[in-house]
Amino acid sequence: MIPFNSPMSVPLLLLILILSSGCVHRIEVNPRSTSPASTTIPHSLQLTVSALALEGADHRPGIIFLEWPTHDLSQAIIRYAQQRGTFRSVSPGSADWRLHITSKLALTSRQGRYHYHLRLQGEMSQEEPPVKTYVAEHTVAGSMVRWVAASDRDPIEAALQLALDDLFSRIEADRALYVGRAERSSS
């Protein structure tokens, strides 16, 4: 026990106040497609997103003071897919094709800066098992400190945008697979 008249009592009390104040960075992102789809797949897409896995420094679960609701991540990805135009339509409801995305965000600290590594895994299917699985990973350097929500949000949004550009470019490159398979299953 540290006595109140100790030189350590003030910093310790300040630390306790900061930790108990609930300073959580609630993340909301709005990634934009850097370019329209290179080709359009003339089918509808059901897009679902699993809960985000968070990993902090030293491979510990969670990232202290960061909250990124699954609903926001899901809505951000749906808006991105609608804007990009890879599929005729995109929604969380039933459709010709299903894309299920799982994601993991890892935060590391190196070279005096925080680095945000985002991994997206997308499984395309009409029925089980998946027709094809795509993985897109990107790391973006953030600030040296995480004092405000923007210090987390901005690099996370940039990493998500890069990963989505990569993921949807790969899906577009496989257009023949999705157009041909959908036509065969409907006949």
Spell out the domain ranges in the chain. Answer: 27-186
Angle at alpha carbon of residue 128, lines to 123 and 132, rounded to 5°: 35
pLDDT at 112: 84
Low-confidence residues of the chain: pLDDT under 70: 1-23, 57-62, 147-150, 181-187
pLDDT at 90: 97
The DSSP H or E segment spanning 62 is: none
Fold for 27-186, please state it: Double Stranded RNA Binding Domain (3.30.160)
pLDDT at 2: 52
pLDDT at 19: 46
Per-residue b or e along 57-94, where b marks 16 or more CB atoms closer than 10 Å to that residue's CB:
eeeeeebebbebeeebbbbbbbbbbbebbbbeebeeee
pTM of the shown model: 0.81
pLDDT at 13: 46
3-state secondary structure of 40: coil
Q: What percent of the residues of the chain are helix, what percent strand, and what percent coil, each to the nearest 5?
A: 35, 30, 30
pLDDT at 182: 53
Q: Ramachandran region of residue 106, left (φ > 0), alpha (ψ -120 to 50) or beta?
A: beta
pLDDT at 60: 67
CA dihedral over 93, 99, 104, 105, signed as positive or negative = negative
